[in-house]
Protein backbone atom coordinates (compact mmCIF):
# COMPACT_ATOMS: atom_id res chain seq x y z
CA UNK A 1 0.00 0.00 0.00
CA UNK A 2 1.28 3.44 -0.93
CA UNK A 3 2.04 5.91 1.85
CA UNK A 4 0.88 9.41 0.95
CA UNK A 5 1.47 10.96 4.39
CA UNK A 6 4.14 13.33 3.06
CA UNK A 7 1.60 14.85 0.64
CA UNK A 8 -0.89 15.87 3.33
CA UNK A 9 -0.75 19.61 4.02
CA UNK A 10 0.67 20.57 0.63
CA UNK A 11 -0.93 23.78 -0.67
CA UNK A 12 -1.06 25.88 -3.78
CA UNK A 13 -2.85 29.10 -4.75
CA UNK A 14 -4.31 29.98 -8.16
CA UNK A 15 -6.11 33.09 -9.39
CA UNK A 16 -8.63 33.23 -12.26
CA UNK A 17 -11.33 35.63 -13.44
CA UNK A 18 -15.04 34.79 -13.64
CA UNK A 19 -15.46 35.52 -17.31
CA UNK A 20 -18.90 36.66 -18.56
CA UNK A 21 -18.57 34.56 -21.71
CA UNK A 22 -18.10 31.34 -19.70
CA UNK A 23 -21.10 32.25 -17.54
CA UNK A 24 -23.24 32.68 -20.66
CA UNK A 25 -22.03 29.32 -21.99
CA UNK A 26 -23.01 27.62 -18.74
CA UNK A 27 -26.37 29.42 -18.65
CA UNK A 28 -27.18 28.10 -22.12
CA UNK A 29 -26.13 24.57 -21.19
CA UNK A 30 -28.09 24.51 -17.92
CA UNK A 31 -31.18 26.28 -19.33
CA UNK A 32 -30.77 29.25 -16.97
CA UNK A 33 -32.07 32.36 -18.76
CA UNK A 34 -31.09 34.49 -15.74
CA UNK A 35 -27.45 34.07 -16.80
CA UNK A 36 -27.88 34.29 -20.56
CA UNK A 37 -26.92 37.98 -20.69
CA UNK A 38 -24.33 37.92 -17.91
CA UNK A 39 -22.56 41.21 -17.23
CA UNK A 40 -19.79 42.26 -14.86
CA UNK A 41 -21.13 42.56 -11.32
CA UNK A 42 -24.01 40.12 -11.74
CA UNK A 43 -24.33 37.56 -8.93
CA UNK A 44 -23.35 34.02 -9.90
CA UNK A 45 -25.69 31.06 -9.33
CA UNK A 46 -24.45 28.57 -6.75
CA UNK A 47 -21.87 26.10 -8.03
CA UNK A 48 -20.91 28.01 -11.15
CA UNK A 49 -17.45 28.76 -9.73
CA UNK A 50 -16.68 25.21 -10.94
CA UNK A 51 -15.95 26.77 -14.34
CA UNK A 52 -12.70 27.96 -12.73
CA UNK A 53 -9.41 26.27 -11.93
CA UNK A 54 -9.55 23.32 -14.30
CA UNK A 55 -6.05 21.89 -14.84
CA UNK A 56 -4.55 23.36 -18.02
CA UNK A 57 -2.12 20.85 -19.50
CA UNK A 58 -0.55 20.45 -22.91
CA UNK A 59 -1.98 17.75 -25.17
CA UNK A 60 1.28 15.82 -24.91
CA UNK A 61 0.92 15.53 -21.13
CA UNK A 62 -2.61 14.06 -21.09
CA UNK A 63 -3.29 10.49 -20.01
CA UNK A 64 -5.40 7.97 -21.92
CA UNK A 65 -8.61 9.29 -20.32
CA UNK A 66 -8.07 12.92 -21.35
CA UNK A 67 -7.07 14.06 -17.86
CA UNK A 68 -3.57 15.43 -17.20
CA UNK A 69 -1.20 12.61 -16.28
CA UNK A 70 -0.82 12.23 -12.51
CA UNK A 71 2.88 12.87 -12.08
CA UNK A 72 2.74 14.16 -8.52
CA UNK A 73 3.27 17.87 -9.18
CA UNK A 74 0.56 18.72 -6.63
CA UNK A 75 -1.76 15.75 -6.22
CA UNK A 76 -0.15 12.47 -5.15
CA UNK A 77 0.99 10.21 -8.00
CA UNK A 78 -1.41 7.30 -8.43
CA UNK A 79 -1.41 4.27 -10.70
CA UNK A 80 -5.18 3.75 -10.84
CA UNK A 81 -6.43 4.76 -14.31
CA UNK A 82 -9.97 5.89 -13.45
CA UNK A 83 -10.78 9.11 -11.59
CA UNK A 84 -14.07 10.27 -10.06
CA UNK A 85 -15.13 13.48 -8.33
CA UNK A 86 -17.01 11.70 -5.55
CA UNK A 87 -18.50 14.64 -3.71
CA UNK A 88 -18.07 18.05 -2.10
CA UNK A 89 -19.10 20.00 0.97
CA UNK A 90 -19.53 23.74 0.39
CA UNK A 91 -20.24 26.85 2.44
CA UNK A 92 -20.87 30.23 0.80
CA UNK A 93 -20.21 33.32 2.92
CA UNK A 94 -21.19 35.60 0.05
CA UNK A 95 -21.93 35.34 -3.67
CA UNK A 96 -19.40 35.35 -6.47
CA UNK A 97 -19.97 37.96 -9.15
CA UNK A 98 -19.18 38.04 -12.84
CA UNK A 99 -15.79 39.68 -13.33
CA UNK A 100 -14.46 38.71 -9.90
CA UNK A 101 -10.80 37.77 -9.67
CA UNK A 102 -11.00 34.64 -7.54
CA UNK A 103 -8.04 33.17 -5.67
CA UNK A 104 -8.37 29.55 -4.67
CA UNK A 105 -5.97 28.16 -2.08
CA UNK A 106 -6.05 24.36 -2.14
CA UNK A 107 -4.62 22.10 0.56
CA UNK A 108 -4.40 18.30 0.55
CA UNK A 109 -6.41 17.43 3.65
CA UNK A 110 -6.09 13.64 3.37
CA UNK A 111 -4.77 10.97 1.01
CA UNK A 112 -5.21 7.25 1.60
CA UNK A 113 -4.90 4.05 -0.39
CA UNK A 114 -7.37 1.31 0.54
CA UNK A 115 -8.02 -2.19 -0.71
CA UNK A 116 -11.52 -3.68 -1.04
CA UNK A 117 -13.68 -5.97 -3.12
CA UNK A 118 -13.37 -3.67 -6.15
CA UNK A 119 -9.57 -3.50 -5.88
CA UNK A 120 -7.16 -0.88 -4.63
CA UNK A 121 -8.46 2.69 -4.54
CA UNK A 122 -6.93 6.02 -3.58
CA UNK A 123 -9.05 8.62 -1.75
CA UNK A 124 -7.92 12.24 -1.75
CA UNK A 125 -9.69 15.15 -0.03
CA UNK A 126 -8.84 18.71 -0.99
CA UNK A 127 -9.73 21.75 1.12
CA UNK A 128 -10.33 24.89 -0.96
CA UNK A 129 -10.61 28.50 0.24
CA UNK A 130 -11.97 30.89 -2.41
CA UNK A 131 -11.36 34.59 -1.92
CA UNK A 132 -12.05 37.79 -3.84
CA UNK A 133 -9.87 40.76 -2.97
CA UNK A 134 -8.77 39.03 0.23
CA UNK A 135 -12.40 38.43 1.29
CA UNK A 136 -13.47 34.83 1.89
CA UNK A 137 -16.42 34.00 -0.37
CA UNK A 138 -16.64 30.20 -0.15
CA UNK A 139 -15.04 27.12 1.33
CA UNK A 140 -15.16 23.65 -0.19
CA UNK A 141 -13.97 20.18 0.67
CA UNK A 142 -13.68 18.05 -2.49
CA UNK A 143 -13.37 14.26 -2.53
CA UNK A 144 -11.54 12.51 -5.37
CA UNK A 145 -11.41 8.73 -5.87
CA UNK A 146 -8.96 6.88 -8.12
CA UNK A 147 -9.92 3.34 -9.15
CA UNK A 148 -8.61 0.51 -11.26
CA UNK A 149 -10.15 -0.67 -14.52
CA UNK A 150 -13.69 -2.03 -14.36
CA UNK A 151 -13.97 -5.74 -13.58
CA UNK A 152 -15.98 -8.10 -15.83
CA UNK A 153 -18.66 -8.27 -13.12
CA UNK A 154 -18.95 -4.48 -12.99
CA UNK A 155 -19.20 -4.23 -16.78
CA UNK A 156 -21.87 -6.95 -16.84
CA UNK A 157 -23.87 -5.18 -14.13
CA UNK A 158 -23.77 -1.91 -16.08
CA UNK A 159 -24.92 -3.72 -19.23
CA UNK A 160 -27.91 -5.12 -17.30
CA UNK A 161 -28.69 -1.61 -16.01
CA UNK A 162 -28.72 -0.30 -19.57
CA UNK A 163 -31.08 -3.08 -20.67
CA UNK A 164 -33.50 -2.23 -17.83
CA UNK A 165 -33.31 1.48 -18.64
CA UNK A 166 -34.02 1.01 -22.34
CA UNK A 167 -36.87 -1.38 -21.58
CA UNK A 168 -38.55 1.36 -19.52
CA UNK A 169 -41.09 0.97 -16.76
CA UNK A 170 -38.72 1.63 -13.85
CA UNK A 171 -39.86 3.79 -10.95
CA UNK A 172 -37.65 5.92 -8.66
CA UNK A 173 -36.73 4.21 -5.41
CA UNK A 174 -37.78 7.41 -3.60
CA UNK A 175 -39.49 10.56 -4.76
CA UNK A 176 -39.42 14.11 -3.43
CA UNK A 177 -42.07 16.76 -3.00
CA UNK A 178 -40.41 18.47 -5.97
CA UNK A 179 -39.40 16.56 -9.09
CA UNK A 180 -37.89 17.43 -12.47
CA UNK A 181 -36.92 15.25 -15.41
CA UNK A 182 -33.62 15.77 -17.24
CA UNK A 183 -32.84 14.38 -20.69
CA UNK A 184 -29.07 14.31 -21.14
CA UNK A 185 -27.55 14.08 -24.59
CA UNK A 186 -24.03 14.19 -26.07
CA UNK A 187 -24.27 17.90 -26.89
CA UNK A 188 -25.23 18.81 -23.32
CA UNK A 189 -22.35 16.76 -21.91
CA UNK A 190 -19.88 18.16 -24.43
CA UNK A 191 -20.91 21.76 -23.72
CA UNK A 192 -20.55 21.27 -19.96
CA UNK A 193 -17.13 19.69 -20.53
CA UNK A 194 -16.15 22.65 -22.70
CA UNK A 195 -17.38 25.27 -20.21
CA UNK A 196 -15.39 23.59 -17.42
CA UNK A 197 -12.38 22.64 -19.60
CA UNK A 198 -12.86 19.00 -18.65
CA UNK A 199 -11.14 16.66 -21.10
CA UNK A 200 -12.33 13.44 -19.44
CA UNK A 201 -13.32 11.26 -22.40
CA UNK A 202 -16.08 9.32 -20.61
CA UNK A 203 -18.30 12.41 -21.03
CA UNK A 204 -18.03 12.86 -24.84
CA UNK A 205 -16.18 9.92 -26.44
CA UNK A 206 -18.68 7.06 -26.63
CA UNK A 207 -16.19 4.58 -28.13
CA UNK A 208 -13.70 5.21 -25.33
CA UNK A 209 -16.37 5.12 -22.61
CA UNK A 210 -17.61 1.74 -23.82
CA UNK A 211 -14.57 -0.11 -25.12
CA UNK A 212 -12.01 1.09 -22.54
CA UNK A 213 -13.98 1.86 -19.37
CA UNK A 214 -16.90 -0.51 -19.89
CA UNK A 215 -19.73 2.01 -19.63
CA UNK A 216 -23.02 1.51 -21.54
CA UNK A 217 -23.18 5.18 -22.56
CA UNK A 218 -21.64 8.57 -21.93
CA UNK A 219 -21.32 9.36 -18.23
CA UNK A 220 -23.18 12.41 -16.92
CA UNK A 221 -20.69 14.48 -14.90
CA UNK A 222 -21.15 14.37 -11.14
CA UNK A 223 -20.70 18.16 -10.82
CA UNK A 224 -23.14 18.66 -13.71
CA UNK A 225 -25.80 16.76 -11.73
CA UNK A 226 -24.81 18.76 -8.63
CA UNK A 227 -25.17 22.01 -10.61
CA UNK A 228 -28.59 20.91 -11.87
CA UNK A 229 -29.64 20.14 -8.29
CA UNK A 230 -28.45 23.58 -7.17
CA UNK A 231 -30.36 25.24 -10.01
CA UNK A 232 -33.40 23.13 -9.08
CA UNK A 233 -33.10 24.47 -5.52
CA UNK A 234 -32.72 28.09 -6.61
CA UNK A 235 -35.50 28.16 -9.21
CA UNK A 236 -38.16 25.63 -8.12
CA UNK A 237 -37.67 24.48 -4.51
CA UNK A 238 -36.80 27.83 -2.91
CA UNK A 239 -37.10 30.56 -5.57
CA UNK A 240 -35.62 33.86 -4.46
CA UNK A 241 -33.53 32.26 -1.70
CA UNK A 242 -29.73 32.05 -1.65
CA UNK A 243 -27.97 28.72 -1.18
CA UNK A 244 -25.45 29.00 1.67
CA UNK A 245 -24.54 25.33 2.20
CA UNK A 246 -24.51 22.32 -0.10
CA UNK A 247 -23.13 18.81 0.35
CA UNK A 248 -23.30 16.16 -2.33
CA UNK A 249 -22.08 12.60 -2.73
CA UNK A 250 -22.06 10.55 -5.92
CA UNK A 251 -23.26 6.98 -5.28
CA UNK A 252 -23.86 5.57 -8.77
CA UNK A 253 -23.24 6.66 -12.35
CA UNK A 254 -25.89 8.12 -14.64
CA UNK A 255 -25.70 7.79 -18.43
CA UNK A 256 -27.06 9.59 -21.48
CA UNK A 257 -29.10 6.55 -22.57
CA UNK A 258 -32.46 7.64 -21.02
CA UNK A 259 -33.76 10.56 -18.92
CA UNK A 260 -32.99 10.82 -15.21
CA UNK A 261 -34.68 12.86 -12.49
CA UNK A 262 -34.02 15.48 -9.81
CA UNK A 263 -35.88 15.34 -6.49
CA UNK A 264 -36.10 17.52 -3.38
CA UNK A 265 -37.98 17.74 -0.13
CA UNK A 266 -39.49 21.03 1.01
CA UNK A 267 -37.17 23.22 3.14
CA UNK A 268 -37.74 23.08 6.90
CA UNK A 269 -37.98 26.14 9.15
CA UNK A 270 -34.20 26.53 9.15
CA UNK A 271 -34.03 26.35 5.36
CA UNK A 272 -32.49 22.86 5.29
CA UNK A 273 -33.66 20.16 2.89
CA UNK A 274 -32.57 17.00 1.10
CA UNK A 275 -32.05 16.74 -2.65
CA UNK A 276 -31.12 13.79 -4.80
CA UNK A 277 -31.03 12.52 -8.35
CA UNK A 278 -32.23 9.15 -9.56
CA UNK A 279 -30.41 7.45 -12.40
CA UNK A 280 -31.65 5.77 -15.58
CA UNK A 281 -33.38 2.97 -13.63
CA UNK A 282 -34.61 5.06 -10.69
CA UNK A 283 -31.81 4.31 -8.22
CA UNK A 284 -30.51 7.19 -6.11
CA UNK A 285 -27.37 8.37 -7.92
CA UNK A 286 -26.39 11.63 -6.19
CA UNK A 287 -27.41 12.47 -2.62
CA UNK A 288 -27.29 16.06 -1.40
CA UNK A 289 -28.36 18.44 1.33
CA UNK A 290 -28.75 22.20 1.04
CA UNK A 291 -29.45 25.20 3.22
CA UNK A 292 -31.03 28.37 1.87
CA UNK A 293 -31.50 31.85 3.31
CA UNK A 294 -34.01 34.44 2.21
Taking each helix axis as running N to C, give the angle between helix 20-29 and helix 186-195, from 0 to 180 degrees, rounded to the nearest 10. 160
Which residues have CB under 8 Å from 59's CB, separation 6+? none
How much is the pTM?
0.94
Q: State in words which class domain 5-293 has.
A: alpha beta
Q: Where do the structural domains in the chain lie, given as residue ranges?
A: 5-293
Is residue 283 within 8 A of residue 252, CB to CB? The reply is: yes
Instruction: State the pLDDT confidence band at 70, using cuts at 50, 70 and 90.
Output: low
Best CA proximity match to 123, nearest among 86, 88, 160: 86
Question: How, if at all, do strands 119-132 and 178-182 pair?
Answer: unpaired
206-264 pLDDT, tens digit per residue, is 999 999 999 999 999 999 999 999 999 999 999 999 999 999 999 999 999 999 999 99
Largest Cα–Cα distance of the chain, in whole Å? 54
Q: What is the pLDDT of residue 1?
A: 57
- Helices and strands, counts by H and E, the chain: 5, 10
Coil, helix or strand at residue 202: helix
Region of 59 please: left (phi>0), alpha (psi -120 to 50) or beta.
Answer: alpha
Distance of CA 191 to the CA centre of its chain: 14
Average pLDDT estimate for 279-283: 96
Instruction: State the pLDDT confidence band at 36, using cuts at 50, 70 and 90.
Output: confident
**In whole angstroms, how large is the CA radius of gyration of the chain?**
19
* Cα(271)–Cα(156) distance, integer angstroms: 42
Q: What is the pLDDT of residue 34?
A: 86
* Cα(225)–Cα(256) distance, integer angstroms: 12
Average pLDDT estimate for 257-286: 97
Instruction: State the pLDDT confidence band at 78, using cuts at 50, 70 and 90.
Output: confident
How many CA atoms within 13 Å lie on the side-chain side of 199? 15
Instruction: State the pLDDT confidence band at 40, using cuts at 50, 70 and 90.
Output: very high
Is the pLDDT assigned to residue 130 strictly greater than 60?
A: yes
Can you spell out the DSSP letters for 227-263?
HHHHHHIIIIISTT-EEEEEEEEE-S--BTTS-EEEE
Instruction: State the pLDDT confidence band at 72, using cuts at 50, 70 and 90.
Output: low
Q: What percent of the chain has pLDDT over 90?
A: 79
Amino acid sequence: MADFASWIGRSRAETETLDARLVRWLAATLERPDGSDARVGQALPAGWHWTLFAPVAAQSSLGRDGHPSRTGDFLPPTSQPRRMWAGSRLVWHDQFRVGDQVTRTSTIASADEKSGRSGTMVFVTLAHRLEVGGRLIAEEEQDLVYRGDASPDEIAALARLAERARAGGTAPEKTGAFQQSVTPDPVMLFRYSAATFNGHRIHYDRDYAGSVEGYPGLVVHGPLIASLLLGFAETLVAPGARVTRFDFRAKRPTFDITPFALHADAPDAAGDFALWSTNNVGEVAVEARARVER
